[in-house]
């Protein structure tokens, strides 16, 4: 009887403890979620070595769990496994933090690059506006802007791997735009050419002073018309040029503005473009250059030298075909200050470090 | 007789050992079939359209390979569990592959919509530029914007290239950017036209 009771008691204990299973540590599920998080965060890209190690440790823990589960309920002990998992979770947190730090760093680097490229685009855009470049450079800049906006979007989505190739392409577009701009401004960086232009201006001022007359000077790069009276600066006005205004006019239809020393030959109080002052383009030097270009076969025999180059109103932001345009109210002042015979000196630039050239050099 | 019995027992033991060790062959066929099913998901660009699912398939495959490796080291090999795992992965992979066309289609439609919108925005800007004053006296800004628009039109061809190469997300992003820029140009053209008409008055 006693033995029977003892056996029943033993059986009860056995059943109650044998069937009762200790719960699997919650860290297990946490670790599985963390592993997914790490992968989504780009652990394979940013911290592959640590992530591989982490996965190995997690796998070992999973295998240990299987082993532990296989044990009879009484002998299951999850304590050491729990400890192991906590350590894995801590390692995972560390990796996640490292990834975030790397991403922040990368994001900052990209933001800096974007900012630099944006500045470059803006500088080049303003130069293209100044020099009336409406062709390839602008196209390249527009494409660069599209790509740069994509870069910003990708950066926000943390798709940094797709960013570098785009930044590279942006760089190439900017390089091309810069080349186009530089080719248009090549003469403006030539010191001998600048000295020549400066000499023309100095001579015009000296003549104004010596003869006590009014003289006009047009600086094409700065887009300024300067009025001198008796050698003294009287007024400065903003002007507009043609689409090819920075080039020296050679033939009819080149949309370039001539460079040289001219005189006002006629004053028109009313024209299509408000008031106008006709200059004596082509002068002897222009004719000589034109003849040489034709002789060298640079121009077709049917090409004309052009003419009717004026200083007129209509607004400084007008695109002329070689003329120099002013705002109407400025034109009123200039018109009254000059007469037929007033010398007009048109130069590219008078200094090598004008704001545009400086901006280009700083790119 | 005793010797004969001993030989019989030895042969029997060898047969039993052979059955338990050699007959349990690795599930090579199942392994290849499952790998092929996962490869099919990758070919369908699962890394783009079913990224999470593909990761799970790869993880499960690693677990199945581990199981096979563990069994191969044992004297009494049992590949039943590995076979079950592989069969499940194969079924899962096929299901994931089945999900991709719809997701791809959705992404494609989104890209095409964005492309249409971008093209419409560029066309609108172009039409506005046509309305802008032309020839001598044309505002310099308008000419600059024409060049900018030409740049956008070139970028628009890149959207089609992205669509053709099934990079629908990239195509959509580019198209959206172009649309934004084109709308910006339209706004500027309107301003420039207003400036001109304002002056004429």
DSSP 3-state assignment of A190? coil
Whether A69 and A76 have beta carbons less than 8 Å apart is answered as: yes
**Nearest chain A CA: its distance from B141 CA (Å):** 8
Facing A143 at nearest CB: one of B155, B173, B199 = B155
CA distance A89 to B172: 38
The residue behind tokens 């001598």 is B136
- Core vs surface per residue A212-232: b (16+ CB within 10 A) or e: ebbbbbbbbbbbebbbbeebe
**Nearest chain A CA: its distance from B124 CA (Å):** 17
| The most confident of A102-106, A293-297, B4-8, by mean pLDDT | A102-106
How does pLDDT run across B7-59, given as a tens digit for each residue?
Answer: 777 666 666 555 555 446 889 999 999 999 999 999 999 988 999 999 999 99
Instruction: Say if residue A35's pLDDT is above 80.
Output: yes
The confidence band for A43, taking pLDDT boundaries of 50, 70 and 90, is very high
Facing B173 at nearest CB: one of A129, A143, A150 = A150
**Nearest chain A CA: its distance from B40 CA (Å):** 22
Domains of chain B: which residue ranges? 2-103, 104-194
Encode A55-85 in three state secondary structure: HHHHHHHHHHHHHHHHCCHHHCCCHHHHHHH
Facing B147 at nearest CB: one of A138, A150, A321 = A138
How far is residue B22 from each of residues B8, B19, B31, B64, B68, measured CA to CA in Å?
Answer: 20, 6, 18, 20, 15
Give the residue from A319, A322, A331 with the most B CB atoms within 10 Å of its CB, the best one to mutate. A319
* Strand bridging mode A224-229 / A214-219: antiparallel
**Nearest chain B CA: its distance from A216 CA (Å):** 23
Instruction: Say if residue A287's pLDDT is above 60.
Output: yes
Instruction: Say if residue A329's pLDDT is above 80.
Output: yes
- Average pLDDT of chain A is 88
Is B143–A243 a contact, with Cβ atoms under 8 angstroms apart?
yes
Q: A12 vs A285, which has greater pLDDT?
A: A285
Q: How many CA atoms lie within 13 A of A190 on its CB side?
A: 10
The confidence band for B183, taking pLDDT boundaries of 50, 70 and 90, is very high
> How many residues in chain A?
363
Q: Rounded to two decimals, what is the model's pTM?
A: 0.74
CA distance A75 to A86: 22
Is A321–B177 a contact, with Cβ atoms under 8 angstroms apart?
no
Is B155–A315 a contact, with Cβ atoms under 8 angstroms apart?
no
How far is residue A332 from each of residues A28, A115, A303, A318, B103, measured CA to CA in Å?
Answer: 86, 44, 35, 17, 68
Query: For residue A139, which residues of chain B lie inside 8 Å, CB to CB?
Result: 147-148, 150-151, 154
How does pLDDT run across A156-195, given as a tens digit for each residue?
Answer: 888 888 898 899 999 999 999 999 998 888 888 888 999 9
pLDDT score for A113: 94
Q: B161 vs A319, which has greater pLDDT?
A: B161
Is B181–A141 a contact, with Cβ atoms under 8 angstroms apart?
no
Q: B6 vs A147, which has greater pLDDT?
A: A147
Give the residue from A35, A63, A134, A176 with the most B CB atoms within 10 Å of its CB, the best one to mutate. A134
Instruction: Say if residue B196's pLDDT is above 80.
Output: no
Query: For residue A143, which residues of chain B lie inside 8 Å, CB to CB?
Result: 151-152, 154-155
> How many residues in chain B?
201
Query: For residue B173, which residues of chain A lie inside 8 Å, CB to CB?
Result: 150, 153-154
Whether A313 and A331 have beta carbons less than 8 Å apart is answered as: yes
Is A146–B138 a contact, with Cβ atoms under 8 angstroms apart?
no
For the packed helices A136-156 and B168-200, what is the interaxial angle rounded to 10 degrees? 130
For residues A325-340, give the mean pLDDT. 93
For residues B149-159, give the mean pLDDT. 92
pLDDT score for B15: 60
**Nearest chain B CA: its distance from A148 CA (Å):** 9
The residue behind tokens 């589960």 is A69
pLDDT score for A318: 63
The backbone region for A232, taken as left when phi is positive above 0, alpha when psi lies in -120 to 50, beta otherwise, is beta
Structure tokens, B140 = 């310099």
Instruction: Say if residue B200's pLDDT is above 50.
Output: no
- Whole-number percent of chain B with pLDDT over 90: 53
Q: How far is CA B64 from the centre of its chain?
A: 25
pLDDT score for A242: 81
**Nearest chain A CA: its distance from B15 CA (Å):** 31
Q: Which long-range contacts (CB under 8 A, 24 or more apart) does A114-119 make?
A: A114/A148, A114/A151, A114/A152, A114/A155, A117/A144, A117/A148, A117/A167, A117/A170, A117/A171, A117/A174, A118/A148
Q: Give every CB contact of residue A295 below 8 A, 6+ residues apart in sequence.
A: none
Report the run of H or E that residue A180 belongs to, with start and end.
helix A163-185
Residue of chain A minimizing CA distance to B70: A63
* Strand bridging mode A343-347 / A260-271: antiparallel
For residues A312-339, give the mean pLDDT. 88
For residues B163-169, give the mean pLDDT. 92
Instruction: Say if residue A64's pLDDT is above 90.
Output: no
Instruction: Say if residue A197's pLDDT is above 90.
Output: yes
């Amino acid at each position: 009887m006693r033995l029977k009771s003892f056996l029943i008691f033993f059986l009860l204990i056995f059943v109650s403890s044998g069937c009762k299973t200790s719960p699997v540590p919650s860290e297990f599920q946490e670790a599985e979620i963390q592993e997914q998080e790490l992968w989504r965060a780009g652990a394979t890209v940013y911290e592959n070595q640590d992530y591989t190690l982490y996965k190995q440790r997690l796998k070992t823990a999973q295998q240990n769990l299987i082993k532990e589960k296989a044990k009879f309920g009484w002998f299951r002990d999850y304590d050491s496994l729990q400890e192991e998992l906590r350590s894995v979770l801590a390692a995972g947190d560390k990796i996640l933090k490292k990834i975030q730090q790397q991403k922040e760093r990368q994001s900052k680097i990209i933001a800096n690059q974007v900012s630099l490229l944006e500045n470059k685009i803006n500088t080049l855009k303003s130069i293209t506006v100044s020099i009336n470049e409406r062709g390839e450079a602008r196209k390249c800049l527009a494409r660069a802007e599209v790509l740069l906006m994509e870069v910003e979007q990708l950066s926000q989505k943390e798709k940094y791997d797709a960013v570098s190739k785009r930044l590279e392409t942006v760089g190439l577009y900017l390089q091309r735009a810069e080349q186009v701009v530089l080719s248009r401004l090549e003469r403006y960086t030539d010191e001998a050419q600048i000295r020549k232009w400066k000499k023309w201006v100095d001579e015009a001022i000296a003549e104004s002073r010596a003869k006590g007359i009014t003289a006009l000077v047009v600086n094409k790069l700065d887009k300024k018309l300067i009025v001198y009276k008796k050698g003294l600066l009287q007024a400065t006005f903003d002007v507009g040029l043609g689409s090819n205004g920075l080039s020296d006019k050679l033939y009819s239809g080149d949309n370039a503005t001539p460079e040289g020393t001219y005189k006002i030959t006629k004053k028109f109080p009313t024209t299509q473009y408000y008031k106008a002052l006709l200059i004596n383009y082509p002068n002897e030097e222009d004719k000589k250059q034109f003849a040489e270009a034709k002789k060298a076969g640079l121009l077709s025999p049917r090409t004309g030298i052009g003419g009717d180059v004026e200083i007129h109103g209509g607004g400084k932001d007008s695109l002329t075909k070689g003329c120099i345009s002013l705002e109407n109210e400025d034109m009123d002042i200039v018109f009254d200050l000059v007469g037929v015979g007033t010398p007009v000196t048109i130069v590219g630039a008078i200094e090598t470090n004008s704001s545009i050239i400086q901006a280009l050099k700083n790119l | 007789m005793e010797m004969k019995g001993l030989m019989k027992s030895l042969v029997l033991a060898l047969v039993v050992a052979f059955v338990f060790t050699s007959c349990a062959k690795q599930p090579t066929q199942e392994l290849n079939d499952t790998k092929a099913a996962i490869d099919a998901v990758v070919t369908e660009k699962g890394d783009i359209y079913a990224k999470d699912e593909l990761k799970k398939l790869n993880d499960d495959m690693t677990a199945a390979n581990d199981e096979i490796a563990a069994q191969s080291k044992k004297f009494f090999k049992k590949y039943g569990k590995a076979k079950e795992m592989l069969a499940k992965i194969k079924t899962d992979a096929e299901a994931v592959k089945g999900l991709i066309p719809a997701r791809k289609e959705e992404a494609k439609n989104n890209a095409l919509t964005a492309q249409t919108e971008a093209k419409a925005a560029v066309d609108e800007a172009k039409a506005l530029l046509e309305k802008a004053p032309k020839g001598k006296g044309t505002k310099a800004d308008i000419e600059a914007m024409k060049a900018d628009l030409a740049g956008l039109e070139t970028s628009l061809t890149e959207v089609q290239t992205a669509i053709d190469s099934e990079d629908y997300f990239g195509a959509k992003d580019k198209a959206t950017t172009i649309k934004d820029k084109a709308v910006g140009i339209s706004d500027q053209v309107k301003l420039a036209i207003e400036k001109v008409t304002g002056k004429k008055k």
